[in-house]
Amino acid sequence: MTEEPVTGWGRYQPVTMRTVEPATRTELATAAVGGREVIARGLGRSYGDAAQRRDGTAVITTSCRRLVWDDRTTGVIRADAGATIGDLIETGIPLGFFVPVSPGTRNVTVGGAIAADIHGKNHHRDGSFGQHVQQLTLRLADDSLVECSPTVEPELFWATVGGMGLTGVIIDAVIQMAAVSSSTISVETSRHDTLDELMAVMQASDAGHDFSVAWVDLLRRGRGVLTQGGFADSADVGAHPAGPLRRPNTPSVALPPMPPLRWVQRPLVKSFNELWFRKAPSEPTVTHESITAFFHPLDAIRDWNRLYGSTGFVQWQCVVDSDDALRSICADFAAQPAFFAVLKRFGAENPAPLSFPKPGWTLAVDVPATAAALAALESFDRQVVEAGGRLYLAKDARMSPATFEAGYPRLDAWKRVRSQVDPDRRFTSDLAERLGL
């Protein structure tokens, strides 16, 4: 066991923790992992304080990465908690399978994907990650192991999906992968001068595409670039020498040494936004893109979070089902240092009480962790609550308990399950303490 400083991906509010790193699934399931105030931790890609506990113990899962096919024919795979989205893609693509849900980075563990119930560009059609998990193995607070699924111990299963690691340590999971005939995505790109135009096109066309996401320039009237598409047919890309199913090439470079300054400043971002908008075709255009280019472009820079300087940043992500609420939020963000905004549409919510997605618009915005910017976010929190929306726990680092409770009406059902399996609150985090979990 060692002691080290840790933060979320936003590099905001570092804490010192003890860490223990089991080498195998068996060790993760059986080895001593500390006493009270324990939380599982994968690659640290939750933006805030979900996978940390000041002066507590982090159980690092990243050495546990075994993948075993339960059924190669149908794409059912058993993955250790520390296996990553990237591991699943590398293993599945040669056999014609892709992860059922991918976030904006491949550097998320299976345990983290379940605990945060991650979503992707296909939520409007396929839901979130937990809906594709057939079974998971959980180490409870008394160190016993339990297998649960949507039909076996269903309340515990759904409390763990989206439960931010607070029901126990996920050991492994059985996942239904998605069948694909190629590793190339056919992408339609269009640019839109106003937010209203962008919203109208998304509402009219999302249902006809497997994947849909828009980059939004909040500093300029919410203009945006919309990318929609799906995996191309093998016949369209089969002429490639390596065939239609090729493992994605994911080049990755580190930022050069630089002073710990905040490089993301309003003038620079305005210039970047202008270039990015003009780079998009003026008329809708269809192109073929790789898995990396479409799903994980930011993975090309391993430590891009350093661009926000030593104080770090937060990502504020909401879901609201009101068009007017979204317009109001976007208009108000124009006066804030709101950078790199992404807009998607969600489909139906699932049975997990703490799962974030529900029908409506989801807007994610990177904000530098300055005192003024963080204070300004409180007014946006109020708008979300008034519109019946909520904020995403995996991105959060600063919302109040009142905002959280207002956004998650099924919280009491989750608390009942958590009290049954961990009455002494062995598994906890800074997020759990801050929000009264």
Q: Is residue 142 part of a domain?
A: no
> The CATH number of the domain where 215 resides is what?
3.40.462
Instruction: Report strand pairing: 184-192 vs 285-290.
Output: antiparallel
Cα angle: 118, vertex 123, 125; to 5 degrees = 150
C-beta separation of 344 from 123 below 8 A: yes
Whether 248 is in a domain gets the answer yes
Tell me how many domains the chain contains.
1
- Burial, 328: exposed, middle or buried (Cβ in 10 Å; 0-12, 13-18, 19+)? middle
Give residues with Cβ within 8 angstroms of 77, minimum separation 6: 67, 68, 69, 70, 88, 91, 92, 97, 174, 175, 177
pLDDT of residue 241: 46
Q: How far apart are CA 140 and CA 204, in angstroms?
A: 45
CA trace torsion 350, 351, 352, 357 (10° rounding): 20
- Within a domain: residue 174? no
pLDDT of residue 277: 73
pLDDT, averaged per 10 consecutive residues of the chain (437 residues), comes to 86 92 95 87 95 95 97 98 98 97 96 98 98 98 97 98 98 98 95 96 96 94 93 73 69 65 68 77 90 91 82 94 97 86 97 98 94 94 98 97 98 98 96 95
Report pTM. Answer: 0.94
- Token pair for 62: 């990243």
> Is 175 inside any structural domain?
no
Q: Which of 367, 213, 385, 184 is nearest to 287 (CA)?
A: 184
CA 409 to chain centroid: 21
52 domain residue, yes or no: no
Domain limits at 194? 184-398
Q: Has residue 422 been placed in a domain?
A: no
Joined tokens for residue 370: 């300055």
Neighbours of 20 (CB within 10 A): 17
The SS3 assignment for 115 reads: helix
Look at residue 119 and tell me if it is in a domain: no
In a domain, 211, yes or no: yes
Token readout for 255 is 């930022």
For residue 4, the tally of other CB atoms under 10 A from its CB is 10
